[in-house]
Each structure stands twice: as C-alpha cells, then as structure tokens.
Amino acid sequence: MLGMRIPTEGHPGVDPRAGRLQALDGLRGLSALIIAIIFHYRHFYAYGAQPDPSWFTNPVMHPLVDQGALAVNLFFVMSGVIFTHVYYEAVASQQISGRRFFMLRFARLYPLHLVTTVAMVFLTWGGLRATGRLPLADLGASDGYHLMLNLLMLQHIGLQFGHSFNFVSWSLSIEAICYCLFFWVARRGLPFELACFALATFGIYLMFGHVNALALSPETGQGLFGFFAGCLIARGFETGLSVPITIAAAVLTAFSAATFVWGGRAVMPGSADPYFTVLVVILPSIVVLALTVAPLRWLLSGWVGRKLGDLSFSIYMVHISVQCAIIISTSLLGVGLPYDRWWFYAIYVAGVLGVAEFSYRTIERPAQRWIRTKYGRGIRPGRSSGQVPI
C-alpha cells in the first residue's frame, strides 16, 4: 500500500510516457475546481452578502465555500514536490543551465498569463465603460501601473496597491520567487534539505509573524512554506523515508480531524490557531497521502483526474474572465444573476471547463511547444516533461 519512493515509471499512477505523478495531476485538478467553481462562485453574489445557494450549505461543501482559498497553498506544496522530483538532480549536477531552466518556466506560465491579463484588460475597462461599474469588486486597482506589474509578473510582491485584472495570478509572482530560490540553492551546492527547512520555517514566520514589507508578506510566506515543504517531502521520499513520512502524515491528519470533530476546530498541541494546523500539517499531509496510499493514488490517477490535471492551469487562469463576461452580459441585458439556480451553476461550470479546454488546446500547449522549440534548443528537464502546478 505504501511505496518506498515517489512512484516513477512502471508504477500505478505514473504516465509511462513522461514519468508524471498522475496522482498529483488529479489533486491539482480538484484544487483548481475548488477555487474556480466553489470558492470564487461567491463573486456572483457579492462575496456572501446574499445567502449561499442551497447546494453549498451542506457540511461537505460549506467549508470549501468558506476556505477554498487554501487550495492555492496545496498548489504550492505540489509544486515543490514536482520541482524537486523533476529538476533537483539536473540543476544540482549542472545538466540544465539557468537559461534553460527559466525558459521552461517562462514557456509553462507566461503565455496563458499574458492572454488572460489582456482579456481582463478588455473585460475590466470595457465593462466599466459599458455598465458604469467594475465587473468584480476585486478589480479596484486595475490601472496602467498595475497592468505593467502584471505584464512583468510582479503583481503581488509588495509593489501593488490592491487586486487587479486576473487577480488569481498573484500566485504566479510568488511561484517565481520560489523558482529563483530553488535554482540558487540547488545550483550553489548548499545542503538542500537544510536550506529547504530554513526557507519553509521562514515562510511560517512570514505567514504568522505579521510581516508585510515588499516581498516579505503573508502570501509570500504561504508560497515559501508550501513550496519548500514540498521539496522536503520529495527528498524524504527519494531517500527512502516515505513510510515514516506517510505514517506521520496519517497520524497528524487523523489527530487534526479528531480535534475538529470533538472540539469544533482542528488544532495541534501548542497552537491555538487552526490555520496553522491546516497550512503546516494538513495540506502537506494530503499531498503525502495522495502519493503513497494506493487506493487514493488510484482514484486520483484515473482518466478524469488526468484530464482535470491537464486543464488545471487553464481552469485556474480563465475562470475570472468567464465570470466577468457573464456579469457584464447580464448587466447589459438588464437581467438578474440567478446564481441560486442549479441550471445557472451548471452553465457556469460547463463554461469554465469549455473555455479551459479551448485555452489548453489553442493557447497553453501550443505556445509552450512553440517557445521551447524556437528558443529552448531541445530543452528537457532532468527527469521528465511533466507539468508543474501553479
């Protein structure tokens, strides 16, 4: 049931053509859906100023509606695991140059980021001109200055004065910081596990130490902790420690669940903050269990999981544009948003998935291949061409 290493080619849940960790594909897809069609669905009814739809009020869905933003932190952990699995040995042994490493990252993230930013420029400014108001409240800082920050992927490193345009892309600017630190630590030959532990610990301090100066913010802390905790998980697996890591993850998750059921919130000894437990214990444990528990890995590695994994970046990046288009259209037509009707929710979900599929096939993958072919000169990461989550 438990593997001794991160599953690689020949194991269930791994794509033999690319060595991809398909269990994380499925988990990444689920995380993107939680953000796009559950947590951010509240944009249609003023962030909860109106009652939640009936299907969001049950005990399973309601926590996702309230705390779905935590799925971004899950992305960070998965990203650290995959980066270490795919790139660490190649970077540390200088099999991949800095130019190639960052070209891979640019090809993966920037084309869709650019397209969705431009789309949101038209939707934000065009919607304001056509209807007299912004499509979403979170677009208040959508001006020329913040457009420049977005185009440079500096939209959330402390230079911003609020959310702007495709504001979910804030995580990309945090990821970029993590990529630079990862490459520097691995290339310099520093004790990798010790450096990752130090960076993850510093991330915890930023998350809960009330620091907010330029790039030193709670959001940066979330990225640093999640990403480098993921790096530690991957290195632990690669050195044959997956069994104790999995047992610890299962025990800590069970303890947290028990305290939630009995006490109303999940806390760990010595911490009165439930968010500490969720961010520092539960989310990394979910990634560990997804990789090592065979039934869970099998479930996440099925066709649906793999498909959602392919579309996860597009789902995450396009859903705000879809929401704005719907809100602007209904405003111009003079009709209300029937957000509490099943048929409207089904149309929204289908719209997000349809646009994500179109985006993946016509923008994300073709642009990635074109950039790598034209400028990458046969760039290949150390272990596989597996996709890295947001």
Give per-residue pLDDT as tens, 156-166: 888 888 899 99
Between CA 197 and CA 84 the distance in angstroms is 14
- Measured between alpha carbons, how far apart are the two ends of the chain, in Å? 29
Between CA 232 and CA 198 the distance in angstroms is 11
pLDDT tens per residue across span 75-122: 999 999 999 998 999 998 888 888 888 888 898 999 999 999 999 999
Looking at per-residue pLDDT, the higher value among 179 and 240 belongs to 179
User: Is the model's pLDDT at 262 over the cut of 70?
Assistant: no
Per-residue pLDDT band at 258 (split at 50, 70, 90): low
CA distances, 263 to each of 99, 343, 352 (Å): 51, 38, 38
User: Is the model's pLDDT at 263 over the cut of 50?
Assistant: no
Q: What is the predicted pLDDT for the residue at 28?
A: 93
Looking at per-residue pLDDT, the higher value among 241 and 82 belongs to 82
**Of 32-36, 222-226, 275-279, which range is least confident?**
275-279
Q: What is the predicted pLDDT for the residue at 190?
A: 82
Per-residue pLDDT band at 216 (split at 50, 70, 90): confident
Q: What is the predicted pLDDT for the residue at 269?
A: 43
Q: Cβ of 302: how many Cβ atoms within 10 Å?
A: 13
Burial class (CB in 10 A: 0-12, 13-18, 19+), 2: middle
Phi-psi region of 20 (alpha: psi -120 to 50; beta: other; left: phi over 0): beta
For 141, half-sphere exposure in the C-beta direction (CA atoms, 13 angstrom radius) is 17
What is the maximal distance between C-alpha atoms in the chain?
A: 62
Give the residue among 320, 338, 340, 321 at the shortest CA–CA distance from 330: 338
Looking at per-residue pLDDT, the higher value among 274 and 215 belongs to 215
Query: Quick one: DSSP state of residue 214?
Result: T
Q: What is the predicted pLDDT for the residue at 360?
A: 96
- Residues 112-136 as b or e (16 or more Cβ within 10 Å = b): bbebbbebbbebbbebeeeeeebbb
pTM of structure:
0.85
